[in-house]
Structure 1
Amino acid sequence: MRAATNRSATPGRDIIVVNGADEEVGQDFKAAVHQGDGILHRAFSVYLFDQQSRLLLQQRSELKPLWPGYWSNSCCSHPRPGETTREAAARRLQEELGLVRIQSLSFLFKFQYHARYGESAAEHEVCSVFAAIADQPQRIDRREVAQTRYVTASLLDRQLRDRPQRYTPWLQMAWKQIRADHWPVINRMVGEAA
């Protein structure tokens, strides 16, 4: 694996490279951290639920270099240097989905994963997972998102079992943990928002 270089002299190195404990060890370019086997970097995934406990899924734009056209969680991206992961999640929810009012953006857990995409690219992330209650997307950035849809938890469970090839690997990994360990938190959040 290539070592990341520090950002100090080069603009555009805005992906935070981390060690296994999610401690920053440098910054690098977005394209660089996804080449080959990838470089371990900081990321987040947000799972937005409506007041019926349905999850908002997004289909990734065909313009995305990794997993274009795949269905994924509501929003995912990377914090910038100097930005907390929670701040980055709120920023990307506004940029991708036009959402400015989010109820209780709650941290659930963090996990590390590695997933290859084809022969020459990969995701290698320490990913913080958040959940929130939100209304319908107000404005979708078509460079990022092709379309959105709400699904029930049971329907997503079945689709991930029967058609996993349609979904991003990080969604599949995080969803199992959400369902196994964090579903009572989601139910409580939905109940409080009603």
Structure 2
Amino acid sequence: MQKPRWQQVSFAEEPLILVNARDEPCGFDSKLNVHAGAGKLHRAFSIFLFRDSEHVLLHRRSAEKPLWPGYWTNSCCSHPRRGECNRIATSRRLEQELGVSAELRYLYRFQYQAAFGDLGSEHELCSVYIGRLDDEQELRVNRSEISGWDWFHVDDVDKWLAASPETLTPWFKLEWQQLRGRHAADIRSLFTDAGNSTSRPHAVGE
């Protein structure tokens, strides 16, 4: 039986957006270069999808990933490319990685830096989003990006983080603390606000 061919959606040469700490663009460079060494500060995003207020979609990064291969992380994470706002980039990436669409709510932005041994680093100004994935949407997972996935109860994720933090990506661990703390009510409101009418709009530049 012929092995299925999965669409490649990440490229070493794709141009990412360099920013300063105020999220002001200050140039562009390839994905390869911005992750080399200690990394260059660039714009990124993380998405958490929920099927109800207590179950979140997590995925395991493909073994083909140059940084943190095989680690578990949030539903979807990537970067806007040159010329893209976050609104377009998040929609593109949800389709490319998971084969779904979702209305997203912007929560907050933070800066972090993390090294993966001597192979490279993440140095990102990362915008965090949450969204609701309705049951009728079937996941069509891109196996070139994702090697495993499942829905997890939020309490089980808490236990996982406490027991085996080394299996999770560094950005996920930082973001999950915020989602379980000051943004817990935002997750609940995804399922209580009629039509998601209180969603915060994307910030300028996103």
Query: Residue 13 of structure 1 contacts residue 27 of structure 1 at CA under 8 Å; is this kept in 2?
Result: no
Letter in 1 for 2:37: G
Question: Is 1:120–2:151 an aligned residue pair?
Answer: no
Following TM superposition, by how much is the alpha carbon of 1:52 offset from its aligned partner in structure 2, in angstroms? 5.0
Which runs of 5 or more structure 1 residues have no equivalent in the other structure? 1-11
Following TM superposition, by how much is the alpha carbon of 1:192 offset from its aligned partner in structure 2, in angstroms? 3.8
Q: Hey, what does 2:20 align to over in structure 1? A: 19
Q: Hey, what does 1:7 align to over in structure 2? A: none
Identify which range, 127-136 or 42-51, moves more after superposition.
Answer: 127-136
CA 1:27/1:13 → structure 2, altered by over 3 Å: closer, same or farther? farther
Aligned length: 181
Letter in 2 for 1:49: F
Following TM superposition, by how much is the alpha carbon of 1:130 offset from its aligned partner in structure 2, in angstroms? 0.3
> For the residues of structure 2 that align with 1:13 and 1:46, how far apart are their CA atoms?
20
> For the residues of structure 1 that align with 2:52 and 2:184, how far apart are their CA atoms?
14
Question: Is 1:78–2:76 an aligned residue pair?
Answer: no
Letter in 2 for 1:129: V
> For the residues of structure 1 that align with 2:32 and 2:138, how far apart are their CA atoms?
28
> For the residues of structure 2 that align with 1:87 and 1:30, how far apart are their CA atoms?
18
> For the residues of structure 2 that align with 1:160 and 1:13, how far apart are their CA atoms?
32
Following TM superposition, by how much is the alpha carbon of 1:153 offset from its aligned partner in structure 2, in angstroms? 1.1
Query: Residue 14 of structure 2 contacts residue 81 of structure 2 at CA under 8 Å; is this kept in 1?
Result: no
Query: Residue 53 of structure 1 contacts residue 190 of structure 1 at CA under 8 Å; is this kept in 2?
Result: no
> For the residues of structure 1 that align with 2:53 and 2:23, how far apart are their CA atoms?
34
> For the residues of structure 2 that align with 1:109 and 1:133, how far apart are their CA atoms?
17
CA 1:137/1:117 → structure 2, altered by over 3 Å: closer, same or farther? farther
Following TM superposition, by how much is the alpha carbon of 1:161 offset from its aligned partner in structure 2, in angstroms? 0.9
Give the secondary-structure state (helix, strand or coil) at the position aligned to 2:49.
strand
Following TM superposition, by how much is the alpha carbon of 1:27 offset from its aligned partner in structure 2, in angstroms? 0.4
What percent identity do the matched residue pairs reach? 44
> For the residues of structure 1 that align with 2:51 and 2:104, how far apart are their CA atoms?
13
- Following TM superposition, the consecutive aligned residue runs of length 4 or more in structure 1 with deviations greater than 4 angstroms are none
How large is the RMSD of aligned CA atoms in angstroms? 1.5
Q: Hey, what does 1:130 align to over in structure 2? A: 129
1:60-112 residue CA offsets vs partner (Å, 9 max, x unmatched): 00000010000000000000122111221111000000003x1x310000000
Following TM superposition, by how much is the alpha carbon of 1:19 offset from its aligned partner in structure 2, in angstroms? 0.7
Question: Is 1:148–2:156 an aligned residue pair?
Answer: no
> For the residues of structure 2 that align with 1:18 and 1:72, how far apart are their CA atoms?
24
> For the residues of structure 2 that align with 1:183 and 1:152, how far apart are their CA atoms?
14
Q: Normalising to structure 1: TM-score of the pair?
A: 0.89
Flag the structure with higher helix content: 1
Q: Hey, what does 1:53 align to over in structure 2? A: 54
CA 1:137/1:165 → structure 2, altered by over 3 Å: closer, same or farther? farther
1:151-182 residue CA offsets vs partner (Å, 9 max, x unmatched): 11111111111100000000000110111111
> For the residues of structure 2 that align with 1:164 and 1:145, how far apart are their CA atoms?
19
Give the secondary-structure state (helix, strand or coil) at the position aligned to 1:108.
strand
Following TM superposition, by how much is the alpha carbon of 1:53 offset from its aligned partner in structure 2, in angstroms? 2.7
> For the residues of structure 1 that align with 2:177 and 2:159, how far apart are their CA atoms?
12
Following TM superposition, by how much is the alpha carbon of 1:18 offset from its aligned partner in structure 2, in angstroms? 0.6
